[in-house]
Amino acid sequence: MRVTTTIICGTDGHILKGEYPVRRGLTIGHEPVGMIERLGSAVQSFQEDQHVIAGAITPSEYSAACPCGCLSQNGGGTKHGFQAIGGWKFGNTIDGCQAEYVLVPDAMANLAPIPDGLTDEEVLMCPDIMSTGFSGAESGEIRIGDTVAVFAQGPIGLCATAGAKLKGATTIIAAENVLARMAMSRRLGADHVVDFRAVDPLCA
Partner 1 sequence: MLRPGGTLSSAGVYSSDLTIPLGPFAAGLADLRIVTTLCPGGKERMRRLMAVVASGRVDLKPLVTHRFRLDDIEAAYELFSYQRDGVLKLAITP
Indicate whether 155 belongs to the interface with partner 1 (CB under 8 A): yes
Determine contact, residues 65/38, Cβ cutoff 8 Å. no
Indicate whether 63 belongs to the interface with partner 1 (CB under 8 A): no
Q: How far is the CB of 80 from partner 1 (least distance, A)?
A: 19
Q: H/E/C letters for each residue in 21-69?
A: CCCCCCCCCCCCEEECCCCCCCCCCCCCCCEEEECCECCCCCCCCCCCC
Site string for partner 1, 37-56 (x = CB under 8 A): ----------------xxxx
Backbone angles phi, psi at 44, to 5 degrees: -120, 160
Q: How far is the CB of 16 from partner 1 (least distance, A)?
A: 6
Indicate whether 190 belongs to the interface with partner 1 (CB under 8 A): no
Determine contact, residues 154/180, Cβ cutoff 8 Å. no
Indicate whether 184 belongs to the interface with partner 1 (CB under 8 A): yes
Q: How far is the CB of 74 from partner 1 (least distance, A)?
A: 9
Determine contact, residues 192/174, Cβ cutoff 8 Å. yes
Determine contact, residues 64/81, Cβ cutoff 8 Å. yes
Q: How far is the CB of 155 from partner 1 (least distance, A)?
A: 5
Give the footprint of partner 1 on residues 119-138 (CB under 8 A): 120-138
- Which residue, 17 or 24, has its beta carbon nearer to partner 1? 17
The sign of the CA dihedral 46, 48, 49, 53 is positive
Q: How far is the CB of 159 from partner 1 (least distance, A)?
A: 7
- Which residue, 77 or 112, has its beta carbon nearer to partner 1? 112
